[in-house]
Structure 1
Amino acid sequence: MPPFFDGNNFNELKIKMTCFIQSIDYDLWDVVVYDPKLSNSKVRYDENDRDFLRLNANVKHIIYCSLSSNIFENVLLCSSAKEIWNKLEECYGTSLCLMEKDASESDSDEEDSSK
Structure 2
Amino acid sequence: MILFIQANDFAVWDIIMDNPSIPLKQKKKKKLLVLKSKKEWNEKDRRSVQLNTNVMHTLFCALGPDEYSRVSSCSNVKEICDKLEVTHEGTNQVKKSNVGIITLNYETFKMKLEEDIKVIPIDSTLSSMG
Coarse TM-score class (shorter-chain normalised): 0.5 to 0.7
Structure-2 residue corresponding to 1:37:
22
Aligned-pair distance for 1:30?
1.7
Aligned-pair identity in percent equals 32
1:43-91 CA-to-partner distances (Å, cap 9, x unmatched) read 2211110000001011111211221011100111100000111111111
Q: Structure 2: where are the runs of 5+ without partners? A: 25-34, 95-130
Structure-2 residue corresponding to 1:18:
2
- 1:68 is the counterpart of 2:64: yes
CA distance in 2: counterparts of 1:70 and 1:38, whole angstroms: 30
Which is bigger in relative contact order (C-alpha 8 A, separation at least 6)?
Answer: 1
Structure-2 residue corresponding to 1:81:
77
Could you say which structure has the higher strand fraction? Answer: 2
**8 Å contact kept, 1:32–1:59:** no
Structure 2 counterpart of 1:37, one-letter code: I
Q: 1:32 to 1:41 in 2, by over 3 A?
A: closer
Question: How many residues end up aligned between the 2 structures?
Answer: 80
Aligned-pair distance for 1:41?
8.5
TM-score (norm 1): 0.60
CA distance in 2: counterparts of 1:64 and 1:20, whole angstroms: 14
What root-mean-square deviation, in Å, do the aligned CA atoms of Structure 1 and Structure 2 show?
A: 2.4
Q: Which has the larger radius of gyration?
A: 2
SS of equivalent residue, structure 2 residue 80: helix
TM-score (norm 2): 0.54
Could you say which structure has the higher helix fraction? Answer: 1
Q: Structure 1: where are the runs of 5+ without partners? A: 1-16, 97-115
Structure 1 counterpart of 2:17, one-letter code: V
